[in-house]
Amino acid sequence: MTLPRAIDRREVLKLGGAASIALLAPAGMAPVAAVPRGTASSTIVLADHRYAESAIFAASLERQGARIIELASDRARTWFDAVEPLLPLGLRCLAGLTLESDLFVLERLAAQSGARKCYVGMHDWRCREGPAHRLSATIDLDPIATALVNGKGRWAESLGEGLGQTEMESRAERRLALNCPMPAARGPRFFVSWLMRWTA
């Protein structure tokens, strides 16, 4: 598979619009959520409906074929009752835009069945210095970064679109910091987006 050339942060910041996303995810690559509807989805996205950002992100991935599961207040129940039973049915990726503690719990529960985190984005727009988005991944980060830069007020939706377009081939870990203006919002104003996958 031919991979797109790596782009640096400056290039990401210069790119704009859907055309650039398409450029970074050419035909032939396997996007995260491209699965036939009506079958057991290979990608589950967890939604915390307390927070609009989480629900918007999940809906964005759902539009690309992922299945949404609502995060129960007991995260272990979400894992054991809703997610883990889907592993024998072909579940390969688990994603979410959640609070960080949820990633902490789910990462440890999923690790027992061989899942590994391949993308994490910290999104922070409380009153503080520094970039709003800190991303790290062992998959292609460019579509995600581009989507965030272009997303503006609809960053959670764009983030879902970007993650859905990401090519999944493993590569060396890459980190990126982006400072994009974020919308005024209520709530925590701190979320983590993440993707785990089962490769075996």
Partner 1 sequence: MPLPPGFSSPNFDSACKELRRVVGDDHLVISGDRLAGYLDPYSPGVADAYAPSGAVLPASVDEVRGVLGVANNYRLPLWTVSLGRNYAYGGAAPCLKGSMVLDLSRMRAIEVNSELAYALVEPGVTYLDLYKFIRDKSYPLWIDCTDPGWGSVLGNTLEHGIGYTPYGDHAGHQCGMEVVLADGEIVRTGLGAMSGNPAWPLYKYAFGPTLDGLFMQSNFGVVTKIGIWLMPEPETFSVTEMMFRREEDIVPMIDALRVLRLDGIIPTATIANWMRIAAGNTTRAEWYDGKGPLPQSAIDRLTKAMGIGYWGMRFGLYGREKILAEQRKAVEAAFSRIEGMELGVATYRSGEAIPPEHATLAGIPSVDLMPLNWLGGAGAHIECPLVVPMRGAEFLDLYRRRTQLFNAEGFDHYCGLTSTSPRSFINTGSIIFDRNDAEQCARARALGRTLIDDAHKRKLSGYRAHISEMDFVAAQFDFNDNAAMRLYERLKDALDPAGVLSPGKQGIWPKDLRQAKNEKAGKP
Would you give the binding string for partner 1 spanning residues 4-43, x where CB under 8 A is met? Answer: ----------------------------------------
DSSP letter for each residue of the chain: -PPPPP--HHHHHH--HHHHHHHHS-TTS-BTT---TTS--SEEEEE-TTSHHHHHHHHHHHHTT-EEEEPPSSHHHIIIIIIGGGGGGT--EEEEEE-HHHHHHHHHHHHTTTEEEEEEEEEE-SS-SS-SEEEEESS--HHHHHHHHHHGGGHHHHHHHHHHT-B------EEEEE-------SS--EEEEEEEEE--
Regarding 101 and contact with partner 1 (CB under 8 A), the answer is yes
Binding map of partner 1 across residues 69-88, x = CB under 8 A, - = no contact: ---xxxxxx--x--------
Using the rule CB under 8 A, give the single segment among 20-28, 86-94, 109-117, 142-150 that binds partner 1.
109-117
Phi and psi of 26, rounded to 5°?
-65, 160
Binding piece for partner 1, criterion CB under 8 A, among 19-27, 57-65, 103-111, 151-159: 103-111
In this chain, which of 63, 111, 113, 169 binds partner 1, going by CB under 8 A? 111
Single out the residue of 34, 99, 174, 198 in contact with partner 1 (rule: CB under 8 A).
Answer: 99
Q: How many residues in the shown chain lie near partner 1 by CB under 8 A?
A: 26
Among 126, 129, 181, 200, binds partner 1 (CB under 8 A): 126
Cα dihedral across residues 21, 22, 27, 31: positive or negative:
positive
Taking the complex as a whole, the smallest distance from the CB of residue 104 to partner 1 amounts, in Å, to 6
Among 13, 122, 171, 174, binds partner 1 (CB under 8 A): 122
Residues in contact with partner 1 by CB under 8 A are 72-77, 80, 99-102, 104-105, 108-109, 111, 116, 122, 124, 126-127, 186-190
